[in-house]
């Protein structure tokens, strides 16, 4: 009997420890949903004989010719989870600034991005995700009068890699991209047409990202399930600056070298801008100590993914960048 009691106590201790570890490392409290002028809708669309799903928020008084923003989730996420993971920031911005926002669901929770080492079902089955974006643009043009020349794409992790693919393959359909937690694949890992067309680009990277190495190298799931090699955050920004024809040196604020990881008393976020008159800009945010997360003031990613920075409001910074580029008088892309 005593042996049984001892065993039960030991099992109970293990359960408590596992529960505490889950609560600390994995659990993430859901933020309060905002009050909006219209409901967030769920719908389907058929692309290449497949039924695809998505969520969308369209403000009740959306004006004709409004921008359309896509938010592409990471692997093992979907449109619902990325909406939560951004603290509903894009919904609130869409309400305030009058644009439509769409959260598509990747095929089996992933995207057919441009990496040869990608292992998502979408990549393995060569799912037409480019066609999905094009079909959704046309649907929202017909239903809500959005401007096809003002299509914007934000992507996180696998969704960021998908944004890179769209920038390489269909740049004529996109006004700008913003990518969080993803570096460009190294040339030997790049499975699609190389980047050729200038495009405004914003990048956000954490220096302590456990999945997408800030300094470049092998991307992996915590050291397991390798995902191929990627360029560093700095090299990724410089590639886009070169494609955009920017030859001026970058400037940073606070004024520290790109990639300066700072210290405990230093700035948590460094903004580096590659700009030149008449050229689409490239802006890169370095989040000191940031993990594989989306910085925002209202949602904390699971601690397993690293630190979530709350000083940078990524949705607000992204929309500010997009607004700036939509207003900018830059030459049309070829």
Measured between alpha carbons, how far apart are the two ends of the chain, in Å? 80
Burial of 53 (0-12, 13-18, 19+ CB in 10 A): middle
Run of H or E including 7 = helix 2-25
Phi, psi of 9 (to 5 degrees): -65, -40
Reading the block at residue 295, the tokens are 């910085």
pLDDT, residue 267, reads 56
| Alpha carbons 36 and 214: distance in angstroms, whole number | 36
Which of the listed CATH numbers 1.10.645.10, 3.40.630.10, 3.40.50.1820, 2.40.40.20 matches domain 40-327?
A: 3.40.50.1820
Low-confidence ranges of the chain (pLDDT < 70): 1-28, 222-224, 255-267, 328-334
pLDDT in tens, 274-319: 999 999 999 999 999 999 999 999 999 999 999 999 999 999 999 9
- H helix runs in 38-179, sequence order: 79-85, 89-97, 121-124, 129-144, 158-169
| Alpha carbons 100 and 112: distance in angstroms, whole number | 24
pLDDT, residue 224, reads 65
């Amino acid at each position: 009997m005593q042996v049984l009691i001892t065993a039960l106590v030991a099992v109970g201790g293990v359960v408590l420890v596992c529960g505490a570890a889950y609560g600390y490392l994995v659990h993430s409290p859901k933020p309060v949903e905002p009050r909006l002028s219209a409901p967030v809708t769920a719908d389907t669309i058929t692309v290449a004989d497949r039924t695809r799903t998505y969520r969308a928020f369209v403000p009740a008084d959306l004006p004709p010719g409004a921008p359309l923003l896509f938010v592409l989730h990471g692997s093992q996420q979907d449109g619902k989870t990325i909406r939560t993971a951004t603290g509903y920031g894009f919904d609130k911005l869409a309400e305030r600034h009058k644009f439509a926002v769409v959260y598509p669901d990747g095929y089996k929770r992933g995207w057919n991005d441009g990496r040869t080492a990608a292992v998502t079902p979408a990549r393995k089955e060569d799912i037409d995700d480019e066609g999905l974006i094009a079909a959704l643009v046309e649907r929202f043009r017909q239903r809500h009068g959005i401007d096809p020349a003002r299509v914007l794409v934000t992507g996180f992790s696998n969704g960021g890699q998908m944004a890179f693919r769209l920038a390489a393959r269909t740049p004529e359909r996109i006004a700008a991209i913003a990518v969080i937690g993803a570096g460009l694949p190294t040339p030997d890992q790049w499975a699609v047409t190389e980047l050729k067309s200038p495009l405004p680009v914003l990048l956000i990277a954490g220096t302590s990202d456990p999945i997408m190495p800030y300094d470049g190298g092998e991307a992996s799931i915590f050291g397991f399930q390798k995902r191929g090699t990627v360029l560093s955050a700095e090299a990724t920004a410089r590639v886009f600056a070169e494609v955009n024809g920017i030859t001026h040196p970058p400037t940073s604020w606070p004024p520290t070298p790109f990639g300066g990881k700072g210290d405990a008393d230093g700035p948590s976020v460094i903004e580096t801008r590659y700009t030149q008159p008449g050229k689409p800009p490239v802006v890169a945010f370095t989040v000191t100590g940031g993990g594989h997360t989306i910085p925002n003031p209202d949602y904390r990613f699971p601690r397993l993914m690293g630190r979530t920075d709350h000083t940078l409001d990524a949705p607000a910074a992204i929309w500010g960048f997009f607004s700036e580029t939509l207003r900018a008088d830059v030459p049309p892309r070829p």
